[in-house]
Amino acid sequence: MWIEILCGLVFFRIFRRFFCEDDEDVLQITGDSSVIFHVANRIEKLYGGKVYVGLRIPDTDSSSRQSIDMVLVTKGAAMVIAVRNFSGLIDIDNDGSWICSSEKRHKTERHSDPVLETKRQVAILESYLEQRGVTLPEGCLIGKVVLPNPKCRTTHAISFLPEVISFDEWTQLKPESKIGFSSWIKDAFRGGKSETLDGMFQKLHFILNTAPMWDRLELKGDKYVLGEFSDFKGKHEDMQALRNVKRSKVSRLIIQRSTMFSGLGRSKVQVLYAPRDFRIEGMSAPEWNEATVKSSTEVQFQPIGSKKTEKIKLSSIVSMSLSA
| b/e 43-79 (16+ beta carbons within 10 angstroms → b) | beeebebebbbbbbbebeeeeeebbbbbbbbbebbbb
pTM of the model: 0.82
All structural domains of the chain, each given as residue ranges with its CATH number in brackets, are: 33-209 (3.40.1350.10), 215-321 (no CATH)
Instruction: Name the average pLDDT for the chain.
Output: 82
What is the average pLDDT across 179-208? Answer: 62
pLDDT score, position 31: 64
What is the average pLDDT across 53-80? Answer: 90
Q: Count CA within 13 A, CB hemisphere, residue 132.
A: 19
Q: Count CA within 13 A, CB hemisphere, residue 289.
A: 15
Q: What are phi and psi of 262, to 5 degrees?
A: -75, -175
| Predicted confidence (pLDDT) at residue 203 exceeds the cutoff of 80 | yes
- Intra-chain end-to-end CA distance of the chain, in Å: 59
What is the average pLDDT across 236-256? Answer: 93
pLDDT band at 69 (very low <50, low <70, confident <90, very high): very high
More confident residue, 61 or 246: 246
Q: What are phi and psi of 241, to 5 degrees?
A: -65, -30
Contacts 24+ apart (CB under 8 A), 193-202: 197/76, 200/134, 200/136, 201/73, 201/75, 201/76
pLDDT one-digit tens code per residue, 281-319: 445 567 899 999 999 999 999 999 888 999 999 999 999
More confident residue, 194 or 110: 110
Distance set, CA 199 to CA 70, 96, 205, 281 (Å): 22, 40, 10, 16
Q: What is the DSSP string of 212-266?
A: -B-EEEEETTTEEEEEEEEEEES-HHHHHHTTT--TTTEEEEEEEEEEEPSTT--
What is the average pLDDT across 102-129? Answer: 90
Q: pLDDT above 90 covers what percent of the chain?
A: 57
Q: In this structure, are strands 310-313 and 298-303 parallel, antiparallel, or unpaired?
A: antiparallel
Distance set, CA 52 to CA 10, 55, 307 (Å): 47, 7, 25
Coil, helix or strand for 53? Answer: strand
pLDDT one-digit tens code per residue, 156-191: 999 899 999 999 999 988 876 333 344 444 444 444
pLDDT score, position 277: 74
| Predicted confidence (pLDDT) at residue 133 exceeds the cutoff of 80 | yes
Chain centre distance of CA 5:
44
Which residues 6+ apart lie within 8 Å of 247 measured at CB?
229, 322, 323, 324
pLDDT score, position 40: 95
Which residues 6+ apart lie within 8 Å of 50 measured at CB?
44, 72, 73, 74, 205
pLDDT band at 66 (very low <50, low <70, confident <90, very high): very high
Q: Which amino acid is at 190?
A: R
What is the average pLDDT across 59-83? Answer: 89
Q: What is the DSSP string of 136-173?
A: PPTTSEEEEEE---TTEEE-HHHHT-TTEE-HHHHHH-
pLDDT score, position 282: 46
pLDDT score, position 118: 96
